[in-house]
Amino acid sequence: MNFLAHLLLSGDHPEWIVGGFLGDFVKGRLKGHYPPDVEAGIQLHRKIDQFTDQHPLLKECHLLFTPELRRYSSIITDISFDHFLARHWARYNNRELTEFNTLVLAVLKNPSVTLPDNAQLFLERMVSRDLLLQYRLPEVIPRVLQRTAQRLSRPNPLAQSGEQFIEQYDLIEAIFFDFFPELEEFAQIQRIQLAAP
């Protein structure tokens, strides 16, 4: 899953939200460099990614893309699902998306929160582009995919995937609707287990 989904699925505890955000930036074993609840949020992020990557509905979604894009289909699906989550936000959260965005950014920008340089740089871009709110717009997703392609270390066809996202829009959306409630239930169970002493 991508940033909006991870932030939502982290729950309401600020340190878990920080961990949910950091999951894409902190690699390897967790060795106590972060507070326990932040590390629990990072672990949750990793468990969500593993659950998503292995889920049959996601494998079905990956087959919607042409063979040359299938290697990158997890990236396309993650970004696409953030779009559908933002677009249908009221189904999944009682707060307005604008309010959730404000709360999350206040947590991540809190002076007491120390982010690695790459996470801090991404957060600044996320704020300047109003990314979590912009995800609601279908026309933004091809641009996000293009920027993601530029950040990858080797040449890739991801920049061209926006057209296929638009072509397969209804089918991807249907898979998202089937999948996300399962993911919410999984994340809730994992939060309980990770919080247990």
**Predicted local distance difference test score (pLDDT) of residue 1:** 78
pLDDT reading at 128 higher than 80:
yes
In whole angstroms, give the CA distance from residue 131 to residue 153: 22
For residue 55, which of 194, 189, 175, 190 has the smallest C-alpha distance?
Answer: 175
By residue count, the chain amounts to 197
**Predicted local distance difference test score (pLDDT) of residue 170:** 97
Is this structure's pTM higher than 0.85? yes
In whole angstroms, give the CA distance from residue 153 to residue 177: 32
For residue 37, give every residue at least 6 positions away whose Cβ sits within 8 Å of its Cβ, in sequence order, or none: 13, 15, 16, 19
In whole angstroms, give the CA distance from residue 2 to residue 134: 14
State the pLDDT confidence band at 78, using cuts at 50, 70 and 90: very high
Q: What share of the chain has pLDDT > 70, as a percent? A: 99
**Predicted local distance difference test score (pLDDT) of residue 151:** 83
Range of the domain at 85: 3-195
In whole angstroms, give the CA distance from residue 27 to residue 30: 8
Q: How many domains does the chain have?
A: 1
**Predicted local distance difference test score (pLDDT) of residue 79:** 94
CA angle centred on 146, ends 187 and 49, rounded to 5°: 15
Q: Mean per-residue pLDDT for 54-75?
A: 93
Alpha-helical (H) ranges within the chain are: 3-9, 14-22, 36-54, 56-62, 67-70, 73-87, 97-108, 117-128, 131-134, 140-151, 161-167, 169-195
Mean pLDDT of all residues belonging to the chain: 93
Cβ 72 vs Cβ 158: under 8 Å: yes
pLDDT tens-digit series, residues 45-58: 999 999 999 999 99
**Predicted local distance difference test score (pLDDT) of residue 81:** 97
Residue 12 dihedral angles phi and psi, to the nearest 5° = -95, -10
